[in-house]
Structure 1
Amino acid sequence: MNKSILIIEDEQKIRRVMKDYLVKEGFQVYEAEDGEKGLELFNNMNIDLVVLDIMLPKQDGWTVCRKIREVSNTLIVMVTARNEEDDNLLGYKIGADDYISKPFRVKVLVAKINALLKLKDKSKAIEDPTILFEYSDLKVYLTSHKVYLKNEEIDLPLKQYDLLCYFIKNQNLALSRTQILDKVWGIDFEGEDRAVDTCVKRLRAKLGEKNLPLKAVWGYGYRFEVNQ
């Protein structure tokens, strides 16, 4: 199956040129002219990489990047209108994988995209047979980020996998949303604690209540209840 690219860019001419090059490279390409539509497409499509402009209407690139990182480890290439070191550092801090400054050669952007996707595919190929956790129909492997439900592999974004592992390693303990954010998202995370609830909701939808013995602790957080 061809890799899918989401271009979030408000300048139509730039979007068209990028799309033409990427389609010639064999990618499936989706387009959005503002941050709001970009997030909507991202949440409804299976996207492998996002090309994300910073200066966008409705929701800017920084906001879009943060919201994507709350739920997914999908590759993100930020597009900056100027070669400012602070912009590039901020992009990396909030989760961008690479950046490119305008004006740029589309061939350079395509080379970056191919390199990032190749590196990610290579890392996915590393297998670790050690079982971290087995419960009901669920099996979770340690470093290969492999999750199986009824022996069928389930694709979990990095944050969902990290959250699942954090619950597993702290079975039967009440964990506050603040604790979870600090350990899974990092102490520098600037979003709200609803990111935890959103990620839990997505995990439940993918794994099912039977395989995810997770109980809400009202006004506090969650407890992963496993019979001992």
Structure 2
Amino acid sequence: MPVNAAGARILVVEDEPVINQAVTDRLRGSGYEVVQAWDGPEAVEQFTDTAPDLVVLDVMLPGFDGHEVCRRIQAARPVPVLMLTARDDEADILVGLGVGADDYLTKPFRMRELVARVGALLRRVERAAELATRTTTADLGDLRVDSASRRVWVADAEVHLTPTEFDLLACLAASPGVVLTRENLYAEVWGWPGASGTRTVDSHVKALRAKIGAERVRTVHGVGYALETGGAA
């Protein structure tokens, strides 16, 4: 069901009181309803009890970490997750994307950017709900992308993608063989035009390649990416 971004409920999970409260105050000031949690177990409990529309999730948490929280909540009910990490390390970021995170921010971050990314993720949920009403299927060699059911098959075997990975693939599949710039992809998939999200796009492309095959997404250095139109090499 489409999310009313202005009144969405957001779960903020952060064990540092100053950061948790600052994020909470800023989101409430932007018109969101906010629920707070301070550790891994409480995050999962609050997710179950309050059914948030989006989760802002720190990686380093007491109890169990944000990756485990993300894994558990995504298994229960898919929801947009914005991860906060103190480590600007690609391997750490890819772990987060692998368990279902949609985007990430590296600490320290600007509150204005956090609010913008939250809004963009919520708008993307609305767009996904609209796309689900359309019947669009792309058959590219042995790769099949069904936008109506949001399902993907490679050589007749279904592949599980996170919501962001699917939207990225669907965007590339809509223009097979055409090179899309990182900026174009960030604007279309993340819904944030005019912003620089090259690291975010690159990390998600790497995670997508690990699932559908690296040879299917071609890199044009200094420009962007294109989805190959044939089967696997």
Bigger shift: residues 33-42 or 117-126 = 117-126
CA distance in 1, matches of 2:147, 2:91: 33
Pairing 1:54–2:54 present: no
Aligned length: 141
Please name the residue that 2:41 is paired with. Answer: 36
* Separation of aligned partners in 1, 2:132 and 2:158: 25
Q: Taking structure 1 as reference, are residues 41 and 184 closer, same or farther at Cα in structure 2, changes over 3 Å only?
A: farther
Q: 2:90: which partner in 1? A: 85
Distance 2:87 2:42 in 1: 24
Amino acid at match of 1:65: C
Question: Residue 106 of structure 1: CA displacement?
Answer: 1.1
Which residue identity lines up with residue 110 of structure 1 in the other structure?
A: V
- TM-score (normalised: structure 2): 0.56
Structure 1, unpaired ranges of 5+: 131-141, 146-157, 163-181, 187-228
Instruction: From the superposition, tell whether residues 44 and 83 of structure 1 become closer, same or farther in structure 2 (CA, over 3 Å).
Output: same
8 Å CA contact 1:8, 1:51 repeated in 2: yes
- With the length of structure 1 as denominator, give the TM-score of the two structures: 0.57
Q: CA RMSD in A?
A: 2.2
> 1:8 and 1:101, CA in 2 relative to 1: closer, same or farther beyond 3 A?
same
**Conserved 8 A contact 1:51-1:78:** yes
The amino acid across from 1:3 in the alignment is A
Aligned to 2:222: none
Q: What are the superposed Cα offsets for residues 164-207 of structure 1, whole Å, 9 maximum, x if unpaired?
A: xxxxxxxxxxxxxxxxxx95757xxxxxxxxxxxxxxxxxxxxx
Aligned residue among 24, 28, 31 for 1:26: 31
Q: Secondary structure at the match of 1:125?
A: helix
Question: Which protein shows a greater Rg?
Answer: 1
Q: Report if the CA contact (8 A) 1:128-1:143 is conserved.
A: no
Identity, in percent, stands at 39
